[in-house]
């Protein structure tokens, strides 16, 4: 008897969780991803601010699933899904027939119709994004060290983070610590008070998914790090070296986008209904409407939550959905999916964080310590846990950022005034 073939598109939190739950069961599994590694996205901002190296938060998919004899891994992208034939067509031209399909292709940045902004304000979804941001931040500091023009030097030392969710708050706090503490002692003309970090949020407050009291504490904590918080102000326009908030123009050479996400084209591939963010609207069993053998999970899916709205696009949701779909395929459950919310956390730099566990809410050092322990625990692999734990301990004691490497080309037009004059 032929064993059922399960195809999983995407090796993020949801896809990898499903693959692990199906490992060594009576099914054949093929997992497809455009990258050969699984990425722990919650710590990408630490790569972007030189606290961690990419290898600390990523691991090869093949290594993670090496013990799963029934799972094979393909490095490829999705071109189309032919549901009538139960077939996935890949970018390489290869075709995969499936008995069950799990679509977990994640999300990308959303610039709300202004995709031209992407070249000037990169988002943070991949290792490439993180290293590109690290390049911009560190290069700006290097240029500022020898820049003699006062206005240009101030622009080089101005960093604008757009988006006041957890990623934006964490990024702004990390940049403030990097520019004011970690590198100022290594430079001769940059002092802790030279840099300017601006955090912009269009909503009335930061961390809209957190209780208002915790959000207020987070704002105070990030402001104590020297970050300027601008709430209730949407970006009107931005360019390579500026951002405009209403009538105000801020000159800055480093802009970072953390304001929105857009789902992958899964809804188009499946010809399925979607929400405003492009997520496939699924039922409480996570099936795509009209497709009994197709599931959508994680950032790809708009799954109804207990309060009526869709569940948030966070790692715990995706991981629980992946395990649930695996149980569905194996016939171990027929119940509806129910998300167990264990709470949310956001860190705001050294010794500062907020944590919401419903009735229990924490802030300050206890929340920060819990955040560190939780993130080390959820990393994939002992090596990553040990490396990150030791790196964080060293950073805490010394303020050093060991991953301060500038890679790639240095644009000639970004050269400081002293170098231009010397030329």
Classify the phi-psi angles of 232: left when phi > 0, otherwise alpha if psi is within -120 to 50, otherwise beta.
left
Site of tokens 């393909």: 74
- Going by C-alpha positions, the residue among 128, 144, 166, 173 that lies closest to residue 252 is 144
Give the up-direction half-sphere exposure of residue 228: CA atoms within 13 A in the CB hemisphere. 12
Is 142 catalytic? The answer is no
CA distance linking residue 28 with residue 3, whole number of Å: 7
Pick the catalytic residue: 170, 177, 201, 291? 170
CA distance linking residue 72 with residue 50, whole number of Å: 34
Pair of tokens at residue 401:
């950022």
CA distance linking residue 208 with residue 9, whole number of Å: 31
| Residue 155 near residue 141, CB atoms below 8 Å | no
Which sequence positions are flagged as catalytic?
170
């Amino acid at each position: 008897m032929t064993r059922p073939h399960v195809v999983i598109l995407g090796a993020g939190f949801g896809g990898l969780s499903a693959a692990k739950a199906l490992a060594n069961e009576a099914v054949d599994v093929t997992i497809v991803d455009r990258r050969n590694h699984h990425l722990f996205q919650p710590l990408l901002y630490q790569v972007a601010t030189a606290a961690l190296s990419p290898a600390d938060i990523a691991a090869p998919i093949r290594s993670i699933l090496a013990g799963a004899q029934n799972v094979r891994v393909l490095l490829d992208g999705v071109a189309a899904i032919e549901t009538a034939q139960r077939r996935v067509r890949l970018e390489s031209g290869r075709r995969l027939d499936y008995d069950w399909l799990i679509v977990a292709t994640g999300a990308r940045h959303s610039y709300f119709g202004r995709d031209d902004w992407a070249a000037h304000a990169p988002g943070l979804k991949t290792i490439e994004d993180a290293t590109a941001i690290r390049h911009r931040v560190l290069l700006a500091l290097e240029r500022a060290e020898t820049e003699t023009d006062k206005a240009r030097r101030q622009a080089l030392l101005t960093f604008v983070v757009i988006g006041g969710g957890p990623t934006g708050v964490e990024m702004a706090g990390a940049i403030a610590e990097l520019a004011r503490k970690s590198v100022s002692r290594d430079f001769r003309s940059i002092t802790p008070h030279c840099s300017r970090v601006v955090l912009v949020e269009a909503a009335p407050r930061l961390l809209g998914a957190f209780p208002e009291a915790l959000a207020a504490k987070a704002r105070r904590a990030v402001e104590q790090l020297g970050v300027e918080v601008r709430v209730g102000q949407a970006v009107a326009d931005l360019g390579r070296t500026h951002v405009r908030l209403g009538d105000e123009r801020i000159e800055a050479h480093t802009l970072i986008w953390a304001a929105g996400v857009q789902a992958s084209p899964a809804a188009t591939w499946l010809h399925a209904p979607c929400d405003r963010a492009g997520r496939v609207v699924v039922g409480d069993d996570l099936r795509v409407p009209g497709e009994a053998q197709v599931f959508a999970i994680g950032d790809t899916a708009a799954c109804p939550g207990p309060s009526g709205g869709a569940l948030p696009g966070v790692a715990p949701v995706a991981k629980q959905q992946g395990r649930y779909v695996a149980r569905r395929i194996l016939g171990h459950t027929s119940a509806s999916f129910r998300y167990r919310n264990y709470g949310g956390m956001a860190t705001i730099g050294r010794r500062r964080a907020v944590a919401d566990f419903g009735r229990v809410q924490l802030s300050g050092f206890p929340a920060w310590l819990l955040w560190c322990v939780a993130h080390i625990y959820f990393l994939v692999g002992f090596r990553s846990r040990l490396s990150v734990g030791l790196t964080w301990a060293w950073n805490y004691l010394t303020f050093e950022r060991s991953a301060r490497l500038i890679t790639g080309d240095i644009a000639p037009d970004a050269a400081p005034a002293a170098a231009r004059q010397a030329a």
